[in-house]
Chain A
Amino acid sequence: MSVPEMTGAASSFTARAGRPPETFFKAQERNRHATWRMSALCVFAALLMGIPLTLVLSPFFYAVTMAAAEVVNHFSPLPPEFWKTSSDLARLAFRVADAVFNQRGTVNPQELVLAAALIFLPGIVVALMLWAGMLLLFRHGGVGGTLASLNAREPNPQDLKELQLADTVQEMAIAAGLPAPKVMLIDSPGANAAAIGTCATDAHIVLCRRLLDDLNREQLQALVGHLVASVGNGDLRIAFTVTSIFETCGLIVTLINAPFGRQSRSTLWRIIRYSFRRGTGAAKAADAEQVAELLADTLDMNSSDIDRFFNSSNPGLIRKALRLMFFPFLFTNIAVELTLWFFLNLLLGPCMALLWRTRRYLADAGAVELTRNPDALESALQSLSNDCATVAGGSWASHLFVVNPGGDRSLRGDSASTEQQRKFLQAWQTTASTGSPAIPANPLPSVPGTATELARVRQEMMSTAMSAAMGNADAAARLQVFAQAMGVDPALVHELPNINDLMLAQRGDRAAQARVRMHRQSRQRQESGAGRGQTGLQTVSFVSFHPPLAKRAKRLQKMGAHLIDPSRRRGGLAGKIVLAILYLILGPLLVTCGVLMLLVIVMMIGLNLLCLGLWLALIHWLFAVDWGSVIAGFTRFVQDVAAAFSRRR
């Protein structure tokens, strides 16, 4: 007696011919270990980044303290012990620096430790405090803000497809033994999915509505399995930590910039206002989202207040005086921003991206464990690779999506066979009679040769699709006839709007109309040449947070997926040789650039120290000089001169 099971869990793993080279348990274990390694690397990178940062910030901190002490001392004299201790410490620092850099004099280890503590402790303490503050601040932010900016809605239980999605999520949650996450849908033309939230209990799964039409139930299950496994593995907390570190860096830049610019001050003011806000409503969540985005923006080197402060043409007298007063801060600022930019982009960012990549592989293996169906996930990923994955409003959360929202074509289906192309052309030509003159006729001549013909037909199809999206019923009808002739969604044109949606929109379905409208808008944006660019966390690392889909497919194949022919290679030998030569040339160049950059950073640190020293000396001199006697002397001098003049007369 056999047990027919309906879908999903049906394909039992051992029943497949041939054992996979790596079971999903092995794969998960391996990726967990990889995560540990990468987190250790991240900690190391953060420490490494901390060294130059504290070298900049500690002197700055001491200089500001001493300047404040001078001012206070002027009005109410500080105890002499304070001045004695600080001068002792300064002398110690000098001696240690002399011994370390010039190999002159001797220091005992105790002094060395004290000096190191003096330099590094303030930086470490301040950084940790800021980080803890960020963690506390955004812990209760919730997911409302992200959901709102994604324009997510709840699924409609009357819609069979959306009901199916809700069921699928429940099934996967049962398979993982987790509380079922909430499901939200986005009516976006893109095709992508994400798990968002701060912990497993408030996890939300967000899917583009389009996926429900593009994927079959098993593929959908695999995709949801990936997200649920990711939630179960605790990825949400990791993502939260990663973003909070970047936000802390943004906060440091904001704080440094605060005296100079309105923009930083308003960001800071928003953070303060947000942190004192009570309640956990949607408004607060939206606020958290905005604050996070503002902080992310400050990490961008282009939006610097300090340039505006020091470069504004035609400054007033006060501005001039302020500039004179704050001149050493310019170097502090540049040093901090340069250090952050350099180390975030080249060290910490890539480490975190690689850490996040191990989590993606882990979730893939988890999805295979839950569904026991590696093929489904593989084909789902391929389908996502074929589609445009951009999701409007998902910029800050871009690393949370299954597929890189910037697009990943590495697993794009092979260009169709000539047989398919012929069928495609024929199907389109036979539908020509369905159309009406209202469809814009394409002026391109019909040149023999399948490739050009194909391009022409695709262009024609695009314009038909656009007019259908505008509400042209004939065009929509033609597309539908074509889709029927091709069997399924035409695989050769991925940019077409969803034909089901088109038909529904013709019949007056509000949601479908919205989807078609969004598709049209995104098409227009693409055509007008607005580059998508990278968004969110992607900007702070030159390594993408998403592993290439081709690599993911390869790992799935190790676990037994076999839909995509593994022998398929991109490029080939010649391409590899070209790449190797390119790396050979570019590698040393990049290393040189990095070393030069480090030198610049070191120079900036030195300049910062020098300027701060000058500044302190200036302030000290200002307070040390007995201004009363100076003024008295000056007036006596003036009187003498006047007396001399009067005597001569």
Chain B
Amino acid sequence: MSFSPVLIALAVVMVLVLWFAFHAYNRLVRMRNNVRNAWSDVDVQLTFRHDLVPNLVESVKGYMSHERQTLEAVTKARSAAMSAGADISTRAAAEMALGSAVGNLFLSAERYPDLKASQNFLLLQEQLTTTENRIAFARQHYNETVRQFNTLIAEFPWNLMAGQFGYAPEKMFAAGPQDRATVQMAS
């Protein structure tokens, strides 16, 4: 029994197409998982900051009794960030507000020399610096992965597949202007 060359060529093409389709689909899935992973990294770092803030407020309270407003702003921003919900852009805005509130707190700490000199405060400052950095870097990584994912699902073979399997563009972790406005009014 012999196959005609046309049949063999067809089979080869079919196999190639199938192989490419599997490969493409797997790439799609992998990229989506990368995005999820990156998001969970961001989430972990944000939660870590939420846990750190009460500690911070507690340890500077004694020194900074005149800065009641600043301290309250931090506490408020924290609770706002914790209840920001799942929408990424509102959450981003709330988290940024928290970040700036904490930054303000450290700026006002400059006015208290005995606080600045304490070893405890230095350690705390380092901890906060690294937390802020981690959040910033996790956000950077997340946004980069999202950018890659969004580009991928807009490109040719993948855009067909993405529509088929329900893959939509992901949102970057950044706050639009209207979100910022709402958070500012709330705080």
Which chain A residues lie closer than 8 Å to B126 at the CB level? 160, 163-164, 167
Contacts A3-B100, A5-B99 given; indicate if A174 touches B180 (C-beta within 8 A): no
Q: Is there contact, CB below 8 Å, between B180 and A1?
A: yes
Say yes or no: is B22 at the interface (Cβ < 8 Å to chain A).
Answer: no
Q: Is there contact, CB below 8 Å, between B133 and A8?
A: yes
Which among A1, A8, A160, A164 is the interface contact of B137 at CB below 8 angstroms?
Answer: A8
What 1/0 flags go to A481-493 for Cβ under 8 Å of B?
0000000000000
| Distance in angstroms between the alpha carbons of A630 and B45 in the assembled complex | 93
Say yes or no: is B47 at the interface (Cβ < 8 Å to chain A).
Answer: no
Q: Is there contact, CB below 8 Å, between B37 and A167?
A: no
| Distance in angstroms between the alpha carbons of A51 and B37 in the assembled complex | 49
Which chain B residues lie closer than 8 Å to A372 at the CB level? 140
Residue of chain B at shortest CB distance from A172: B137
Say yes or no: is A367 at the interface (Cβ < 8 Å to chain B).
Answer: no
What 1/0 flags go to A130-165 for Cβ under 8 Å of B?
000000000000000000000000000000100110
Q: Is there contact, CB below 8 Å, between A4 and B140?
A: no
Min CB distance A212 to B, Å, is: 13
| Distance in angstroms between the alpha carbons of A6 and B131 in the assembled complex | 10
Within 8 A of B (CB), among A1-58: 1-10
Which chain A residues lie closer than 8 Å to B184 at the CB level? 1
Q: Is there contact, CB below 8 Å, between A167 and B130?
A: yes
Contacts A5-B99, A5-B132, A177-B41 given; indicate if A160 touches B122 (C-beta within 8 A): yes
| Distance in angstroms between the alpha carbons of A167 and B133 in the assembled complex | 9
What 1/0 flags go to A346-378 for Cβ under 8 Å of B?
000000000000000000000000101000000
| Distance in angstroms between the alpha carbons of A13 and B49 in the assembled complex | 25
Say yes or no: is A175 at the interface (Cβ < 8 Å to chain B).
Answer: yes
Q: How many residues of B contact A (CB 8 A)?
A: 27
Q: Is there contact, CB below 8 Å, between A177 and B99?
A: no
For chain A, the bracket of interface size reads 20 to 34
Say yes or no: is B115 at the interface (Cβ < 8 Å to chain A).
Answer: no
Min CB distance A158 to B, Å, is: 10
| Distance in angstroms between the alpha carbons of A171 and B137 in the assembled complex | 7
| Distance in angstroms between the alpha carbons of A163 and B129 in the assembled complex | 12
Residue of chain B at shortest CB distance from A5: B136
Q: Is there contact, CB below 8 Å, between B41 and A171?
A: no
Say yes or no: is A223 at the interface (Cβ < 8 Å to chain B).
Answer: no
Min CB distance B93 to A, Å, is: 9
Residue of chain A at shortest CB distance from B180: A1
Contacts A4-B103, A160-B126 given; indicate if A176 touches B141 (C-beta within 8 A): yes
Within 8 A of A (CB), among B64-92: none
Say yes or no: is B138 at the interface (Cβ < 8 Å to chain A).
Answer: yes
Q: Is there contact, CB below 8 Å, between A177 and B145?
A: yes
Min CB distance A34 to B, Å, is: 22
Residue of chain A at shortest CB distance from B136: A9
Say yes or no: is B134 at the interface (Cβ < 8 Å to chain A).
Answer: yes
Q: Is there contact, CB below 8 Å, between B136 and A8?
A: yes
Which chain B residues lie closer than 8 Å to A198 at the CB level? none
Say yes or no: is A404 at the interface (Cβ < 8 Å to chain B).
Answer: no
Q: Is there contact, CB below 8 Å, between A9 and B37?
A: no
| Distance in angstroms between the alpha carbons of A2 and B103 in the assembled complex | 11
Number of A-B contacts (CB under 8 A): 74
Which chain A residues lie closer than 8 Å to B129 at the CB level? 6-7, 167, 217
Say yes or no: is B6 at the interface (Cβ < 8 Å to chain A).
Answer: no
Say yes or no: is A170 at the interface (Cβ < 8 Å to chain B).
Answer: yes
| Distance in angstroms between the alpha carbons of A211 and B130 in the assembled complex | 19
Q: Determine which residue in B38, B130, B141, B184 has the highest number of CB atoms from chain A within 10 A of its CB, and name it.
A: B130
Which chain B residues lie closer than 8 Å to A177 at the CB level? 34, 37-38, 41, 141, 145
| Distance in angstroms between the alpha carbons of A163 and B128 in the assembled complex | 13
Min CB distance A6 to B, Å, is: 5
Q: Is there contact, CB below 8 Å, between B100 and A2?
A: yes
Residue of chain A at shortest CB distance from B137: A175
Which among B34, B96, B100, B137 is the interface contact of A370 at CB below 8 angstroms?
Answer: B137
Contacts A160-B122, A174-B45 given; indicate if A6 touches B132 (C-beta within 8 A): yes
Which chain A residues lie closer than 8 Å to B132 at the CB level? 5-6
Say yes or no: is B123 at the interface (Cβ < 8 Å to chain A).
Answer: yes
Min CB distance B146 to A, Å, is: 12
| Distance in angstroms between the alpha carbons of A172 and B136 in the assembled complex | 11
Which chain B residues lie closer than 8 Å to A170 at the CB level? 130, 134
Min CB distance A441 to B, Å, is: 40
Which chain A residues lie closer than 8 Å to B41 at the CB level? 174, 177
Contacts A7-B129, A176-B141 given; indicate if A171 touches B134 (C-beta within 8 A): yes
Q: Is there contact, CB below 8 Å, between A171 and B130?
A: yes
Min CB distance A219 to B, Å, is: 14
Contacts A177-B41, A177-B141 given; indicate if A4 touches B136 (C-beta within 8 A): no
Q: Is there contact, CB below 8 Å, between B123 and A160?
A: yes
Which chain B residues lie closer than 8 Å to A370 at the CB level? 137, 140
Which chain B residues lie closer than 8 Å to A167 at the CB level? 126, 129-130, 133
Which chain B residues lie closer than 8 Å to A174 at the CB level? 41, 45, 134, 137-138, 141
Which chain A residues lie closer than 8 Å to B99 at the CB level? 3-5
Min CB distance B177 to A, Å, is: 10
Residue of chain A at shortest CB distance from B44: A174
Pick 22 A–B contacts, CB within 8 A, sort by A.
Answer: A1-B96, A1-B97, A1-B100, A1-B184, A3-B99, A5-B99, A5-B103, A5-B133, A6-B129, A8-B137, A10-B136, A160-B122, A164-B130, A167-B130, A167-B133, A168-B130, A174-B134, A174-B138, A174-B141, A175-B140, A217-B129, A372-B140
- Contacts A2-B100, A176-B141, A177-B34 supplied; 18 other A-B pairs, CB < 8 Å: A1-B100, A1-B180, A4-B99, A6-B103, A6-B128, A6-B129, A9-B133, A9-B136, A160-B123, A160-B126, A163-B126, A164-B126, A167-B126, A172-B137, A174-B137, A175-B138, A175-B140, A177-B37
Q: Which 5 A-B pairs have the closest CB atoms?
A: A175-B137, A167-B130, A9-B136, A4-B103, A171-B133
